[in-house]
Amino acid sequence: MVIQAVVTPEWVKDAVFYQIFPDRFARSERVVKPNNLEPWDTPPTSYGFKGGDLLGIAERLDYLQDLGITAIYLNPIFQSASNHRYHTHDYYRVDPLLGGDAALRELLDAAHARGIRIILDGVFNHASRGFFQFNHILECGPQSPYLDWFIVKGFPLHAYDDKPPNYEAWINLHALPKLNTANPQVREFIFGVAEHWIAFGADGWRLDVPAEIDDDDFWREFRRRVKAINPDAYIVGEIWTEAQRWLQGDQFDAVMNYIQTHAAVRFFGARTLAPLWLGGTYPPPTPLDAQGFARDIEAMLALYDWQITLAQLNLLSSHDMPRFLTLVKGDQSALRMAMLFQMTMPGAPTVYYGDEIGLQGGYDPACRGAMPWDERQWDTALRDYIRAAIQLRHAHPALRRGTYRTALAEGELFAYERVYEGQRFAVTFNTAQTERQLRLSLAAPAQQATLTFGQGRAHIHNGTVVVTLPARTGAVWHIV
């Protein structure tokens, strides 16, 4: 039996992503909208619209390029009667409030001209009450030819009343009828949608709750269809836990790496954790020391083939959890260290829009606030730090593709080594409240340690690197 090598898109391994919630990032005057929009600078609500659009993103590409972003993950953009657009009405039409198909065309062309890739959010487990085939059943009842596109258990449908839905619905929400993916016509519909937008120019799909489609053959065929059009397309699933089932090289390229998110919040924010649920299956985080952090990270890195590990979508915040800075009660030192950690780890780091300027927000909808474009509201020092950390990653292939090895894990001190094609770096963290000394256990003796990022000093003692770091900081060292 020949074991096929796992192949993931090369570009992802060098990418830095930026996640955008389209209604809340930027609004263009070129997109005409209805009048009943919420003021941009008021707190977000569950049902209100701010009016952000795709041309607004296109007009802010200079900002993203200056930050160092090379890829964008867009939350859903297709026609929908919800501000988050996970309630899809028409999978073949970009929402008019976002500027329609023409706006996506302009955004893709402008981004690609700058070397920026864009992946779309694929919501294929469930549709909405406004989805044509479900609406057809609402109108025609059991006589609808589309009856078996969903799993209907009785009539009349309880789609808009207080009774439990008498059809399969995601987490029993009336508004989200589950598609019957056992139906060959439904499967072909979804595959056709996936093919259409990849052919249109999208660079991949982020798959919403894909475990809900409990069918490996479905996802294998999804992959075949997408990769046949663009072999470099990125397929990343929203799986919050270990995901070996989907990461054998025949389904997804990667998953959203919430395992790393959880560990990073607990270690870097150990002193200031807020009593907030992180999201998914994770309870409110509890403090983690360096030994526990090292164990969690090493276990995570051992889960999958190395090519998949290099393509993981790493993140610190998302639209589905309180923002990192809120989880650590505004502790900027925790966010800075976590960002440096993310930018020096295997996998593609992701900045959730606004995190770089100090945006905060708790549970949904607060974590989906509007991006302020008045720079007087920005924490520019934080943005400069994150920008510098991104540039550090771009400058050194070892921090993107190098091997990983723990070099120190004691109490509040943590360090690791990244090595690639003769380049060697040590990444060091002191999460304590006072200056501390770190004695690194590297794979081979060192002759010199040169500070590449951050603050601190180092000397060599009998081939061992000894680093002194200020309190609550991280630093990167070039080792020879």
Residue 467 token pair: 């680093």
Catalytic residue among 59, 106, 203, 238: 238
Residue 238 catalytic? yes
Residue 242 catalytic? no
Bridge partners (DSSP) listed for residue 475: 428
Bridge partners (DSSP) listed for residue 430: 413, 473
Catalytic residue among 208, 253, 331, 412: 208
With contact defined as beta carbons under 8 Å apart, do 430 and 454 qualify? no
Enumerate the active-site residues.
208, 238
